[in-house]
């Protein structure tokens, strides 16, 4: 059942990304898919891998570690941690992931830097920005972003690749584009301020607003539902 769904859904998601890039006048290689596999079984990830998908995003640490253990034979998978990150999780994240998209505090950055095994090379990080300025949401404010970026750039075991955001839900293309335009402008400002930094990533766009994110320059779109189907709210949490 899920096999069949994925067989259609993953190629459909790729076509959708390709069409969005073309509509934005951008090249095919300008953005790629991060398959968000939270709450989905290891078998679904293996299936997506069989269809050529390599980048996978997980939100819940223990669930991710369990699936990584089951999929240890797929040595070229690239694991991205995209969930809330507290101090007690940094060691496992530093040891078991290639990317972190949800970094929003200097204290967490220092721990990841100190705990990253030298054999793995630098950990790729995106700073999560609270782009809709929601009081309850995680993410650094735009005002505090340059100072956090400067602190992270000084940490040798981290490689600052760009910015990530999860905007407040909005209806319609124009409203969906606005927060993503702010994130793009924030990245452009950081590039000007830190010209030596490897800032090449805008992690933005999900199943319901991929087109808006691509129009504003997303380089990595994080699709869950569009690839794996709806998540049951109670599964695996
Ligand atoms: C769950 C999640 C996604 C995927 O959301 P969909 O709407 O299912 O595509 C993307 N990014 C983050 C940070 C998530 O937690």
Q: What percent of the chain is predicted at pLDDT more than 90?
A: 92
Residue 237 reports pLDDT greater than 90: no
Task: Note the pLDDT tens digit of each residue in 114-132.
Answer: 999 999 999 999 999 999 9
What is the dihedral sign for C-alpha 95, 99, 103, 107? Answer: positive
Burial letters for 56-78: b for 16+ Cβ neighbours within 10 Å, e otherwise? Answer: bbbbbbebbbebbeebeeeeebe
Fold of 3-228: TIM Barrel (3.20.20)
What is the dihedral sign for C-alpha 57, 99, 145, 90? Answer: positive
Q: Residue 131 C-alpha to ligand 1 middle, in angstroms?
A: 16
| Ligand 1 probe mutation, 82, 128, 209, 210, most atoms within 8 A of CB | 82
| Ligand 1 probe mutation, 57, 165, 232, most atoms within 8 A of CB | 57
- Domains of the chain by residue range: 3-228
Confidence of residue 1 (pLDDT cuts 50, 70, 90): very low
Residue 235 reports pLDDT greater than 50: no
Average pLDDT over residues 52-68: 98
Q: How many CB atoms lie within 10 A of CB 166?
A: 22
Can you tell me the distance from the alpha carbon of 210 to that of 76, in angstroms, rounded to the nearest whole number? 26
pLDDT at 134: 83
Q: Residue 204 C-alpha to ligand 1 middle, in angstroms?
A: 10
pLDDT at 3: 61
């Amino acid at each position: 059942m899920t096999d069949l769904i994925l067989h259609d859904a993953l190629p459909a998601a790729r076509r959708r990304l390709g069409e969005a890039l073309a509509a934005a006048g951008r090249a095919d290689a300008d953005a790629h898919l991060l398959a968000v596999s939270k709450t989905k079984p290891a078998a679904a990830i293996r299936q997506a891998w069989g269809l050529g998908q390599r980048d996978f995003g997980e939100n819940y640490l223990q669930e991710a570690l369990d699936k990584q253990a089951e999929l240890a034979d797929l040595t070229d998978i690239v694991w991205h941690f995209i969930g809330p990150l507290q101090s007690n999780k940094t060691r496992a994240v530093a040891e078991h992931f290639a990317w972190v998209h949800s970094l929003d505090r200097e204290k967490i950055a220092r721990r990841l830097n100190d705990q990253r095994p030298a054999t793995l090379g630098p950990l790729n990080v995106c700073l999560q920005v609270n782009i809709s300025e929601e009081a309850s949401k995680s993410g650094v404010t735009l005002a505090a972003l340059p100072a956090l970026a400067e602190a992270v750039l000084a940490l040798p075991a981290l490689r600052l690749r760009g910015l990530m955001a999860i905007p407040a839900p909005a209806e319609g293309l124009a409203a969906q584009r606005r927060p993503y335009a702010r994130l793009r402008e924030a990245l452009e400002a950081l590039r000007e301020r830190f010209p030596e930094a490897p800032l090449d990533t805008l992690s933005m766009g999900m199943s319901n607003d991929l087109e808006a994110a691509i129009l504003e320059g997303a380089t990595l779109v994080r699709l869950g539902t569009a690839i794996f189907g709806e998540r049951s709210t109670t599964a695996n949490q």
